[in-house]
Structure 1
Amino acid sequence: MMDNNKPIFPELNADDSGATEIESLCMNCHSNGITRLLLTKIPFYKDVIVMSFSCDECGFHNNELQSGAPVSEKGIRVHLKVVEPRDLNRQVVKSDYTAVKIPELDLEISSQSQKGEITTVEGIIDRVIKGLNQDQIVRRISHPEEAEKIDNFIERLKALKDLKDPFNLIVEDISGNSFIENPFAPQVDKNCKIEYFSRDKEQNHQVGIFTQDEIVENEDSAILKPIQEGEFPLENFEGEILQFHTNCPGCNAPCETNMKMTNIPHFKEVIIMATVCDVCGLRTNEVKSGGGIEPKGLHIEIDVNGKEDFSRDVLKSETCDLSIPQLDLEVGPNALGGRFTTVEGLITAVRDQLSDRKNSHIFGDSINKDSKENFEKFLKKFDEILEGKLPITIVMDDPAGNSYVQSLSEADQPDEYLRITHYERSFEQNEELGLNQMKTENYE
């Protein structure tokens, strides 16, 4: 029986592995072997399920690793330009659903053709070379012309590692669980571009996501019935605190989430959600817009010159990018999520997330001494900002238009330290918000 006081995915512990053993069929000799399951958390990565099978009869064994983390709301596309040897050593996290492309060679490794792994850019190239070399001895005898073409292609792959010419590596993951290391973190990575995209219907089915209409065939006999229009009027939710069961985003243990709809003066209605986990102690607060996507995007700049500027109310939506030019720092929308706080609270949240050693890729075992010292100096700049010694400008860019910053003027118009502009979204921004897909579906 599982201990309710322990996380479902605990940290690695040599004294207590927590592995579960199950007797199962050997696919090699059809005798009974042993499968061992271990649910654990890999530092600086995510929750995983480690599976190991061994058969004493024939000696067959097999190991496999699967993600235990939920599928992200959006897919991710990472475009890296490889220009120097350091780029070849960048860590790459690939899930089962990751497709890898190198346009210069017209090379594509399709999704679900390889198991998830933690590797490097050079490791990806070496794995392709190894796969192509696997049957070359036989192929040179039976199909010499094809073998020669493959040999030439292998030489082109090896030439990539010499970096005589820069090349591009594109990692696209519909599950959103892939990652390429930024060796300049927390500064902006100029050679790497990250995009988030909404999955289409077929991609949702690939990762096991189906709409309620697709699951429910017979509405009368369904356990989960669709909510009918007008069945729960909006007025019924205003002022009420709703509670529902969920899983902790930290340890995946069952917990409760409280949800309340509230109105921000001079802005709109928002939904505030708070989760407290009794197992690992994690507390999260998240804010989502209750009014849908605005017709135009929103660009906000706030000058923070001293402690008096820290009291402004700030709503950062889950689609809002945040940057601080003076620190050469950019924070994507998924890093902080949606939150309603103050300018001081926003700066503190950025600092705390950067210094979170449990969940950050920055504090890996392989980090060198100079990089660690530079990062510690970077974190000290946040102390100077919070003490009012270092003026900064906070730039918020929200293509959905659902972010807000309080004005300190009496007329509630932007004051001298607050600049707000609206803009037309690009095609790519509409695609990230799922608007292009919605238009296509409506047209069909």
Structure 2
Amino acid sequence: MSLISEENVRGGSVFRDLSADDEDWQPTEIESMCMNCHLNGTTRLLLTKIPFFKEIIVSSFSCANCNWSNTEIQSAGRIQEQGVCYTLRVRTKQDLNREVVKADCAVTRIPELDFEIPAFTQKGSLSTVEGLLDRAVAGLEQDQPARRAAEPQVAEKLDQFIQKLRKLKDVEQEFTLVIEDPSGNSFVENPAAPQRDEALAVTRFKRTVQQDQQLGLRADDDAEEEPPGNDLETMRGEVLVFPTNCPECNAPASTNMKLVQIPHFKEVVIMATNCDSCGHRTNEVKSGGATEPLGTRVTLRLTDPSDMTRDVLKSETCSVLIPELEFELGMGALGGKFTTVEGLLRDIKDLTVSKNPFMCGDSSTADRVQKLAAFGDKLDRILAGEMMVHIVLDDPTGNSYVQNVYAPEPDPELTVEKYTRTFEQNEELGLNDMRTENYQEEN
């Protein structure tokens, strides 16, 4: 039996990387009461870290007296700044094998059947698309014997609906699976990584006041208005420090925030967090101005190793494309960053290769590991200046930027295009104002 000792906590994070090679790592066992027979059973807790899903607690209960068992997953990491919505078009039976992490606060929908599993009605789970369907069927069947005796007509209609759910696993027709999680801690596997997944759309959204209240981030009687901010001139001249928690080990840390004017561009807010406990460092950038009327597509042609030192501002709504590698990184994947071209490429490699959960352990396959390793090798060649490619920053809010080293003269290797956002992009960005309505009427 493994114990969470004071030495383990003080020596580092109690959450360890999930790996089949760590044979010495055992779950923590706790004697607890069985909720079925009310005798004592055993709960096993496994505290682990899954990239893209932060820290999790896997809990498994079993009772030797009545053979009842229960397994659930809980997020032990922080609630993300934005919610996330995964929309998956299930086209083949292979799509049923995609791994899915569903937090307990996530809403699951299948629009074709007008079916919805509300938030907080199921425990968090680590499963597959097929597992989600099986769990939904099991939940609906649970009280069917009592319904057949009390309300036979309702039970008959429910039986028909259960058959429709079961038939989805045959994938005779495409259907859509939507997982909307205001905590931002759910995840759906992209088996084509690092390439774009045509069947999977990932969008980030700002939580509503009601969602903040559900997650315990706001008191029920809080007003909707945000508290007034500090004086802008004061903020420009100072570095503001406020307490927070490390996103890696969850230890107390501090975040520094400062307004910075980028030459030939605009003002941005840079936030940096340093953790004294584990040494983790992170920086995030947010635009200091409003959303621009037009989107911006910035294309940089890498022709010389010196291009790696160009400053790059990538907002959290910006997608990154490398056409020569058929690679696309969706908005929100790396958050907002103020870095260099080299720093951006290294962050992409860390996200898609080094910290990819499907590169090791039971989730890895030889083909997937080989494909991701080859992608990492190509990124290394680009970083070494041995491979000339284009890097495209596509930002519908117009708040991303690549340094022009010839400024104020035009840069021959840099192209900046302005474009009008589509109605769908405005919807995704939450810009439901008169401009959006006018655009919809015109188109």
**TM-score, structure 2 length as denominator?**
0.83
Match of 1:395 in 2: 392
1:20–1:128 Cα change, 3 Å: closer
Letter in 2 for 1:258: N
> Matched residues in 2 for 1:62 and 1:148: separation?
29
Q: 1:112 aligns with which of 120, 130, 152?
A: 120
Which range is displaced more, 2-11 or 348-357? 2-11
Q: 1:180 aligns with which of 180, 188, 193?
A: 188
Q: CA deviation at 1:176?
A: 1.7
Q: 1:151 aligns with which of 138, 143, 159?
A: 159
1:68 aligns with 2:76: yes
1:392–1:250 Cα change, 3 Å: same
> Matched residues in 1 for 2:204 and 2:115: separation?
22
Counterpart of 1:112 in 2: which secondary structure?
coil
1:350–1:149 Cα change, 3 Å: same
Which range is displaced more, 397-406 or 234-243? 234-243
Letter in 1 for 2:50: P
CA contact (8 A) 1:299 1:397 kept: yes
> Matched residues in 1 for 2:364 and 2:233: separation?
53
Counterpart of 2:167 in 1: which secondary structure?
helix
CA contact (8 A) 1:104 1:167 kept: yes
Q: Deviations along 1:16-38, whole A, 9 cap, x unmatched?
A: 779697x999878999x899796
Q: 1:89 aligns with which of 97, 107, 118?
A: 97
CA contact (8 A) 2:99 2:129 kept: yes
1:437–1:277 Cα change, 3 Å: farther
CA contact (8 A) 1:10 1:251 kept: no
1:131 aligns with 2:131: no
1:61–1:187 Cα change, 3 Å: closer
> Matched residues in 2 for 1:316 and 1:136: separation?
53
Match of 1:98 in 2: 106
1:287 aligns with 2:285: yes
Q: 1:251 aligns with which of 240, 249, 252?
A: 249
Match of 1:167 in 2: 175
Counterpart of 2:316 in 1: which secondary structure?
coil
> Matched residues in 2 for 1:170 and 1:309: separation?
40
Counterpart of 1:411 in 2: which secondary structure?
coil
> Matched residues in 2 for 1:29 and 1:80: separation?
40
Q: Deviations along 1:271-321, whole A, 9 cap, x unmatched?
A: 322222222221212222223333332221112233243232211122211
1:214–1:34 Cα change, 3 Å: farther
Match of 1:326 in 2: 324
Match of 1:367 in 2: 364
Q: 2:420 aligns with which of 405, 421, 424?
A: 424
Letter in 1 for 2:48: K
CA contact (8 A) 2:54 2:248 kept: no
CA contact (8 A) 2:203 2:331 kept: no
Q: CA deviation at 1:239?
A: 4.5
Counterpart of 1:389 in 2: which secondary structure?
coil
> Matched residues in 1 for 2:169 and 2:419: separation?
42
1:233–1:168 Cα change, 3 Å: closer
**Runs (5+) with no aligned partner, structure 1:** 217-224
CA contact (8 A) 1:287 1:339 kept: yes
> Matched residues in 2 for 1:40 and 1:289: separation?
36
Q: Deviations along 1:16-62, whole A, 9 cap, x unmatched?
A: 779697x999878999x899796822434432345678999999987
Letter in 1 for 2:369: K
Match of 1:40 in 2: 47
Q: 1:313 aligns with which of 311, 314, 332?
A: 311
Counterpart of 1:335 in 2: which secondary structure?
coil
1:345–1:28 Cα change, 3 Å: closer
Q: What percent identity do the matched residue pairs reach?
A: 48
Counterpart of 2:364 in 1: which secondary structure?
coil
1:7 aligns with 2:13: yes
Which range is displaced more, 38-47 or 200-209? 38-47
> Matched residues in 1 for 2:335 and 2:395: separation?
12
Q: CA deviation at 1:364?
A: 4.7
Which range is displaced more, 161-170 or 258-267? 258-267
Q: CA deviation at 1:91?
A: 0.6
Counterpart of 1:365 in 2: which secondary structure?
helix
> Matched residues in 1 for 2:332 and 2:162: separation?
38
Letter in 2 for 1:310: M
Match of 2:378 in 1: 381
CA contact (8 A) 1:288 1:338 kept: yes
Q: 1:260 aligns with which of 251, 258, 261?
A: 258
Letter in 1 for 2:122: Q
> Matched residues in 1 for 2:370 and 2:59: separation?
38
> Matched residues in 1 for 2:429 and 2:153: separation?
48
1:417–1:164 Cα change, 3 Å: same
